[in-house]
Amino acid sequence: MKKSTLSDPFKEARESKGFGEMDDQNDPVVMVLGHKDVRKCAHNWKTFQSGGDEVGRIVVPSEVHIRNTRQIPFEVDPPEHKSYRDLVEPWFKRPLEANYQAKLTQIINNVVDEALNKGTLEVVEEFALKLQSRALTLLLNIPFEESDLWISWGTHVFRSEDTALDGDKANILYDYIDAQIDKAIENPGNDLYSVLLASEINGKKLTKEEVKGVLILTFAGGRDTVINAVTNAIAYFADHPKSLQRLRDEPEILNTAIEELIRYFSPLTQMGRVVTENTHVCEHAIKAQSRISMCWASANRDERVFENANDVVLDRKVNPHVAFGFGTHNCLGATHARQIMKILLTTLAEKVGTMEIIKCKENIEDLDEFKRKVGFDSIHVTFNKL
């Protein structure tokens, strides 16, 4: 097996019963595994709720004990969800602008050049985290230098090595965001903090707590996911030099290649919902007030939808993956994430001849019944110029 391979630990459970079970801090989760069932549950927001009173409960592992601020629009259900979403949507489409893309290209060029000059480096900390943090300054529209601080936090703002969730670490981020909001109140600019502080929904200004809810989500939702996508892409092209050559020869497959890599990587394994009424999933009884999760990673390997689901098929034309979720809460950061992947792949094809994985430590999520590799804790790679 190649080092970049991400196998599918859900296959047997998905094909035999359609769900899996996971304990999470004594608040068990029924994991929905099939593609069709996942889409059905994501669509049915009345029975499978994101809002609810227990903030943090839809995240797996649950953040109930470490967070009180409601993430917006993520932990809000329709119809309120739509007001928030409509408010932030245009801002999160800015990555489509030429000016944004030019700056992102500059950032990614620099990271790749640095890697080529250095030769060998640890990709998670020295490449992916840097790229992700610097790119985030564009999304927030704040000075580039701010990324130095985020990079210094390391990859595990929320998770430490020994415990899955670390309240102290989460507080670093929450305190930081509080301080940034206060700064923006005193000295408003064109950044996301200021724009949100000046916004209204139904004639009412957003509160500080609401602004904080959007920002926490922007930081948290876009960090590990992007880092995993970038790191896995480097590992994949290191293991498959012919694929990198193919991007050079057939640039027209760039879009299908990006969607396929995102499907295969599924950087966010699952997301939960709280069940509002007694119901069934895959003929399995589910009680009101319990939790389910939609396992995007499993759905994306469903052979009923994806032929050769465990292969990366760079020109897969019909690819209804759910790596960015589905329906109401589909990923708000997808435009940003897709631009990062587009520019990264283009830059690699332009500048990098081959890459070689020297050594790596896999990042395996422990989901009780399943162990899923989602990426790497560390991976040393040598970059060779084209």
Partner 1 sequence: MAKITFITSDNETIVAEGTTGNVMELAVKNKVKGIDGDCGGVCSCATCHVHVNEAFWGAVGAPSELESDMLEFDDNVSDYSRLACQLQVNEVPDGLILKVAK
- By the criterion CB under 6 A, which residues form the site for ligand HEM? 42, 73-74, 85, 139, 217-218, 221-222, 225-226, 229, 262, 267-268, 271, 296, 323-325, 329-333, 336-337
Residue 36 or residue 361: which is nearer to partner 1 going by CB? 36
Based on the shown chain and the rule CB under 8 A, indicate whether residue 256 belongs to the binding site for partner 1.
Answer: yes
- CA–centroid distance for 293 within its chain: 16
Residue 6 or residue 331: which is nearer to ligand HEM going by CB? 331
Per partner kind, with CB cut-offs from 5 to 8 A, the member of ligand HEM, partner 1, none near residue 319 is partner 1
Sole binder of partner 1 in the list 36, 205, 248, 359 (CB under 8 A): 36
> Would strands 291-294 and 271-275 be described as parallel, antiparallel, or unpaired?
antiparallel
Residue 194 or residue 335: which is nearer to partner 1 going by CB? 335
Shortest spacing between CB 259 and partner 1, in angstroms: 5
Residue 105 or residue 319: which is nearer to partner 1 going by CB? 319
Residues 340 and 135: beta-carbon distance below 8 Å: yes
Shortest spacing between CB 268 and ligand HEM, in angstroms: 4
Question: Residues 314-333 vs partner 1: string with x where CB under 8 A?
Answer: --xxxxxxx-x-xx--x---
- Dist. CA 140–CA 138, nearest whole Å: 5
Per partner kind, with CB cut-offs from 5 to 8 A, the member of partner 1, ligand HEM, none near residue 238 is none
Give me the residues paired with residue 370 across strands. 367
Per partner kind, with CB cut-offs from 5 to 8 A, the member of partner 1, ligand HEM, none near residue 296 is ligand HEM
Based on the shown chain and the rule CB under 8 A, indicate whether residue 92 belongs to the binding site for partner 1.
Answer: no
Shortest spacing between CB 334 and partner 1, in angstroms: 7
- Dist. CA 155–CA 224, nearest whole Å: 8
Sole binder of partner 1 in the list 255, 278, 289, 310 (CB under 8 A): 255
> Would strands 352-367 and 291-294 be described as parallel, antiparallel, or unpaired?
unpaired
Sole binder of partner 1 in the list 3, 11, 40, 169 (CB under 8 A): 40
Stretch that binds partner 1, among 158-166, 270-278, 281-289, 334-342 (CB under 8 A): 334-342
Residue 226 or residue 286: which is nearer to ligand HEM going by CB? 226
Shortest spacing between CB 324 and ligand HEM, in angstroms: 5
- Dist. CA 47–CA 364, nearest whole Å: 31
Based on the shown chain and the rule CB under 8 A, indicate whether residue 334 belongs to the binding site for partner 1.
Answer: yes
Per partner kind, with CB cut-offs from 5 to 8 A, the member of partner 1, ligand HEM, none near residue 85 is ligand HEM
Shortest spacing between CB 68 and partner 1, in angstroms: 33
Stretch that binds partner 1, among 176-184, 209-217, 236-244, 254-262 (CB under 8 A): 254-262
Shortest spacing between CB 40 and partner 1, in angstroms: 8
CB burial of 168-207 (b: ≥16 within 10 Å; e: otherwise) equals ebbeebbebbeebbeebeeeeeebbbbbbbebeeeeeebe
Query: Applying CB under 8 A, which residues contact partner 1?
Result: 36, 39-40, 43, 255-256, 258-259, 305, 316-322, 324, 326-327, 330, 334-335, 338
